[in-house]
Amino acid sequence: CHLIHYLRLSHHLIVLNYLICTFDKLKSVSSEDIKITDAVFDGVEVRVFEPPAKGDESLKRSVVYIHGGGWALASARTSLYNNLCRIMAESLNAVVVSVEYRLVPEVCFPEQFHDALRATKHFLQPDVLAEYSVDPSRIAISGDSAGGNLAAAVCQQLSKEEDLPIRPKLQALIYPVLQAFDFNTPSYQQNMNMPVLPRYVMVNYWIDYINGNYELAHELLVNNHTALNVGRALSFRARLNWTSLLPPSFKKSYKPVVQSTGTAAIVERLPALLDVRAVPLLADDTTLARQPRTYVLTCENDVLRDDGAMYAARLERAGVPVTLDHFHDCFHGCMIFTVWPTDFSAGVQTRNSYIKWLDENL
């Protein structure tokens, strides 16, 4: 990881950064059960996990996995994600492709999106699927946190490409970050100081991702960038109106924060704030209606809880079969923490539920 980027982050996140990033990157050492190889898909590095062939089957199902870390941290090769993808491959008897997209500060949006899209489209080619003995009708796209953002954005883009012969059967999003429009949803208000991912740290991740300036952080925190006088934002407001999209148990007694007068120049300087490739929750209903069967995992103690819940509600309204898997006692990022010294029961619980859904639906 990049030392300069470390210095920007709050003390709340130092422990998480250490846990994710100071594990040595693991070489592609295969075990008896899983063959692990590193490859390059259309210029993008990936790590491929292949279970052994069984005599009574010809083709396997598959998951394209995109790791989290605020578009700036972690790697497909760190032990935490290596372990997750290996367990997925074993449990599902599936080929798992873990995408090693480039990170902030080396690149900013839209390069992470382009990396994830290029690697996925390369894998979806019939000859590549045949090389890995993958059933083209049983492929899922998945990711956690910022990786869930990229997975949703990639899935939306694939649905718009009419000449694509093979499409994903499922998408599975783990506490995804899906919008930078409203940093005062109930979950952002409820968990604004929650360890692991406080609200202002998530705002700083967004600023880094879209190549903005930290001086804008306060403007974003109070929703000045999407005030009622910001014309470019008005047309999107109904697409993430949490007062109509969230259940009462999520809304509680929180009130919307809508500024009547804000700073229109912010979205002029940072158009990615309203770009659906960065902000999948802003997609129109036509695009959402084309999405595959979807799984969304959310955690109560997470600023991003409502991002996932709103996306699930909008997809369901668009006619997409959706499973919203909510965990009342879990926290952001927990699913990768299943290995000593961070072997949390929350990680095992969420991971098992996620894999169970994939096993039943893929």
Confidence (pLDDT) at 12:
43
Which positions ≥6 away from 207 have C-beta within 8 Å? 213, 214, 216, 217, 220
pLDDT, mean over the chain: 92
In residues, how long is the chain? 362
What are residue 100's DSSP bridge partners? Answer: 45
Long-range Cβ contacts of 311-314 (<8 Å, 24+ apart): 311/152, 311/173, 311/176, 311/178, 311/280, 311/281, 313/245, 313/246, 314/239, 314/245, 314/281, 314/285, 314/288
Predicted TM-score (pTM) of this structure: 0.93
Other beta carbons within 10 Å of 349: 16
- Peptide bond just before 341 cis, omega within 30 deg: yes
How do 170-174 and 94-100 pair as beta strands?
Answer: unpaired
Chain segment 42-82, per-residue pLDDT in tens: 999 999 999 998 766 789 999 999 999 999 999 999 999 99
pLDDT of residue 76: 95
Q: Which residues in the chain come in under a pLDDT of 50?
A: 1-8, 10-14, 22-23
**pLDDT for res 44:** 98
Whether 332 is catalytic is yes
pLDDT at 6: 41
When the candidates are 2.30.40.10, 3.40.50.1820, 3.90.226.10, 3.20.20.140, the CATH number that belongs to 1-180+272-360 is: 3.40.50.1820
Catalytic residue flag (residue 253) = no
From the candidates 302, 306, 307, 325, give the one annotated as an active-site residue.
Answer: 302
Set 145, 187, 208, 275: catalytic member: 145
- Tokens coding 3: 């030392």
pLDDT at 1: 37
In whole angstroms, give the CA distance from residue 134 to residue 124.
Answer: 10
Residue 163 annotated as catalytic: no
pLDDT at 4: 44
